[in-house]
Amino acid sequence: MKILVINNDGGGFADYVDVADGTTVAQLFERQIGSTKPSHYLIRVNRQPCPADQVLCEGDRISITPTKIEGANS
């Protein structure tokens, strides 16, 4: 089945990918991001935060976006 994946790591990604039926959010995260800790990201499915074991469905949009973007001047 096809799902839309959005993330900025590596070359950046915003495209449909084929995943096996029954793929969970955690499995997809591992495939896209590898070993980086999930706590460094906000992971949403169809614009809603999701549990790691949520099973993805055809047409889902999963976004893996950075968190804690902070600047300071001193």
Partner 1 sequence: MLFLRDYGDTEVGGFGIAASDDLLFVEDIQLVKQVCSWAHVAFDDESVADFFDRQVDAERRPEQFARIWVHTHPGDCPRPSMTDEETFERVFGRADWAVMFILDCEGQSYARLRFNVGPCAEVEIPVGVDYSRPFSATEPDTWEQEYLANVHAEQLRRGMASTLEPVLASPFDEEPTDAWYESWFDYAAEEEEAEELIL
Binding site for partner 1 (CB under 8 A): 4, 6-14, 26, 35-40, 42, 44, 47-49, 51-53, 61, 63, 65-74
Provide the token pair at 42.
């906000």
Tokens of 13: 């990604």
Residue 61 CB coordination number (10 Å): 15
State the nearest-atom distance from the C-beta of 23 to partner 1, in Å.
14
Write out the two tokens for 31: 């495939």
Binding site for Zn ion (CB under 5 A): 71, 73
In the bound complex, what is the minimum distance in angstroms from residue 36's beta carbon to Zn ion?
A: 24
